[in-house]
Amino acid sequence: MFEAIDHIGIAVSDLDQAVAFYRDNLDMAETYRETVSDLGVEAVLLEVGDSHVELLCPLSDDNGVARFLEKRGEGLHHVAYRTADIDEALEKARATGLRLIDEQPRTGIRKSRVAFLHPEATGGVLTEFVEPAH
Ligand code: CO
């Protein structure tokens, strides 16, 4: 069902500081930056081979990433699996009875289609499905 770990999401409270940290300490360059209005965040992708680290910084106080930071502080936020058919992956998850956050895919970074499962359904790990834009 999945082709790769597309990215891992990391919640940060200061995007430029985080970008500088990864650049200066781990030699990971910013390859892409976008405001993802559906998620209420500004996101930066750092390249790691065929995968990415996705740094997420909330643009307001009333979204999931902002609430995550308030409750748990900066750190690992979600893992994202790449699929060629997100509708099928989501339907399988629904048929299995997994609790979904997104009943339908929404628009993610770089015009991808994304959907999140509820962390209560997946052992406390917020899980994202990603179908890259073609
Ligand atoms: Co993500």
Strand pairing category for 51-58 and 75-82:
unpaired
Residues 80, 4: Cα–Cα separation, whole Å: 9
Distance 25 CA to ligand 1 centre (A): 23
Mean pLDDT, the chain cut into blocks of 10 residues (134 residues total): 96 98 96 91 95 97 94 97 98 96 94 94 94 93
Q: What is the pLDDT of residue 39?
A: 84
Q: Which of 133, 71, 82 is nearest to 58 (CA)?
A: 71
Residues 45, 56: Cα–Cα separation, whole Å: 9
Distance 125 CA to ligand 1 centre (A): 12
Q: What is the pLDDT of residue 26?
A: 97
Distance 96 CA to ligand 1 centre (A): 22
| Backbone φ, ψ for residue 128 (5° rounding) | -120, 140
Distance 112 CA to ligand 1 centre (A): 10
